[in-house]
Structure 1
């Protein structure tokens, strides 16, 4: 029975039909592949669109240039060209097979065999193709059945798939946390056996997968499973059973408050506070994310939620309040006001220029915060009182 891809908004993106025509879709040279096909079948909004093609990379570039479609060689070494259309970028990748792999990198060869291209992909649900014109779906390894069962299953031998790319261990759990309901035992066992292979990966790749995993729909039970089966031990031993329990509490708080899950906040909750600096450095997080990771467990402060949001920013305050189990309703939709006063206004009131002005300005600001951010007129009266006292 021929299965047809359901209609979806992404299929009407400006320039996509023209791109498919240029790439010979009508002649069977190119098909949609991967996440766009999978997510459409699941009724999930599609973000990125990928096209697999029999055309060699250089021919892809030439066809795009002839059609006045911008071609960016984003991954030319692996056959990927990004076509920039009016509706957004589309990655176009020539069919390929792996010649050799070392768990981190692959040497590839191009092919014109769709099944051979599908065989080198990670999971059956990611190896679904669709004809751009007719919508006909092509499934070479039972991906449709696995998608129906919400089962993340490696293509072929799980151990071989993991040997080809060790990151697939984390991807297995991330995809299960996002899409799965039935765990594939063979895949799980293979991930447990090969968990130490994660040590060979760059920490940036580990961080990218781990942070995506932490905000997946079923992150809590999956992280608990990973802890119980020793998956994190090689690269993130700081995530333990206690951390998984804390993550569960945070997820409940986020849900109750109507706050979207955040990967840095969840990572902060999952590890012990004393480990935040080391984990941030090991995962090579940005300086901004490292500071946020460390600050998330600093507690709610003593001045109240809005004062905290003013001093630490709303995002930082939400982190600290949720992690501490405090109410965030006072700042959820609140924008901190700008301090309506300046050092020059203190000088005008008779305060001598110098360090005393900065110190007094901080005192006025603290009083303004304590009084609930009153208007400029009230701040002026506060300043009058404080300057008069200082000069008396």
Structure 2
């Protein structure tokens, strides 16, 4: 059905150069209304939220899509042709184009699809009503479920059709439900959806680790994901991601919106490295997570500046925020210090040690470390001349 209001006419992204180039290419091959904007860009335009990605659905099959784009001078990348997806790239801007689909076979982890030209059939296999929205390039909105616009405006995350069926097609949708609730949900969560997610909680762990982490990280990037994470825990879905014993209290107390730190706050003590490996985090994510979870940055009574100097500012701040969430009351001031204090550079090097008479070899490093430790213990106050004198006296 066509919802006569709202209409997206005048939205800047409808006239974006990449959008126009791709739509012109598709319509040159398939005629008017062979392609429509779909999903997040339509949903976010309706609710006045930022739009980061443009997705287009089309009745053209992938081969036809690729041919149409290339004829128009638009780069076509077959990013997922088995599922109908081609990424069009115009002047460095990507636009994802996907052929209308229907599911032929699903097992909760992967799907075999067939292409269709039926817009309503394509809508019926999508996850949530607020994502099953289409728009023509003139801004006219299509709402095949009859409730997508209303649900988007009201912040209702509702499965298309039977929640159990949608989840049986792809168990990742259990995580997506909580992710969309974190980002767009208002009021109480849909009870039928929650019950259906709880029923497949044990199946979520069978998904590819990369899919689980990618979805959960997006959830944790929401402005305020606490309600969604609490509901995940109640439904048993959080345990499928993290395991038992998630630290919901630490998560709630964390004074940071950083998704990786939020994840660190949830992880039970002693399980960080193993969980990072199980979910196949990137090396950079894993290293930061492990460093952050190693414990408080300094002990009570110690100079926090020494810890900032040794750990580095970013690791120190991560540890301070996690320790504060765990109940250390002195960590707020420590994190504030790290944001304003720049660690000094140790002013001596190997040439200074050799000039002071330290023999070449391991003794150089040992001598410098000893003087550096005294410099740190003294509050970084001793100047270069004093440190050189200390170095010469140690020879």
Is the pair's TM-score, using the shorter chain for normalization, greater than 0.5?
yes
Choose 158-167 or 336-345, whichever is displaced more. Answer: 336-345
Q: Is the 8 A contact 2:352 2:388 kept in 1?
A: no
Contact 1:32–1:129 (Cα < 8 Å) also in 2: yes
Deviation at 1:48, TM superposition (A): 1.1
d(CA) in 1 for partners of 2:303, 2:74: 54
CA contact (8 A) 1:154 1:161 kept: yes
Q: 2:130 aligns with which of 97, 122, 125?
A: 125
Indicate if the aligned counterparts of 1:305 and 1:317 stay in contact, CA closer than 8 A. no
Question: What is the match of residue 20 of structure 1?
Answer: 23
Equivalent residue for 1:290? Answer: 286
Q: Does 1:274 align with 2:270?
A: yes
Q: What whole-Å deviation, never above 9, does each CA across 1:239-285 have from its counterpart, x for those lacking one?
A: 43xx11111111xx23xxxxxx1222112211222121221222122
- Compared CA separation, residues 343 and 200, structure 1 to 2 (3 A): same
Partner-residue secondary structure (3-state), 1:60:
helix
For 1:140-219, list aligned pairs within 5 A.
140-141=144-145, 142-182=147-187, 183-219=189-225
Cα RMSD for the two superposed structures: 2.2
**Cα distance in 2, alignment partners of residues 69 and 306 from structure 1:** 54
Residue of structure 2 in register with 1:354 after alignment: 361
Cα distance, 1:163–1:195 mapped onto 2, change above 3 Å? same
Instruction: State the distance in 1 between where 2:222 and 2:134 align.
Output: 25
Matches within 5 A, 1:246-285: 246-250=250-254, 253-254=255-256, 261-285=257-281
- Per-residue CA deviation, residues 279-319 of structure 1 (Å, 9 max, x unaligned), is 12221223332232232231122554444344333332221
C-alpha distance in 1, partners of 2:191/2:305?
A: 48
Contact 1:6 1:41 in 2 (8 A): no
How many matched pairs? 377
TM-score (norm 2): 0.89
Change beyond 3 A, Cα 1:382–1:31: farther
Q: What SS does the aligned partner of 1:387 have?
A: helix
Residue among 136, 139, 144 paired with 1:135:
139
Any conservation in 2 of the 1:14–1:87 contact (CA below 8 Å)? Answer: no
Question: Structure 1 residue 244 and structure 2 residue 236: aligned?
Answer: no
1:67 aligns with 2:72: yes
Q: How big is the shift at 1:166?
A: 0.3
Structure 1 length as normaliser, TM-score? 0.89
> What whole-Å deviation, never above 9, does each CA across 1:310-334 have from its counterpart, x for those lacking one?
4333332221011111121222366
Alignment gaps of 5+ in structure 2: 325-330
Aligned to 1:311: 310
Closer/same/farther in 2, CA of residues 263 and 54 from structure 1, 3 Å limit: same
Equivalence for 2:99: 94
Once residues 197 and 18 of structure 2 are traced to their aligned partners in structure 1, the CA distance between those partners, rounded to angstroms, is 41
1:172-217: CA deviation from partner (whole Å, max 9, x where unpaired): 0111011101311111111112211113211222122222222323
1:225 aligns with 2:224: no
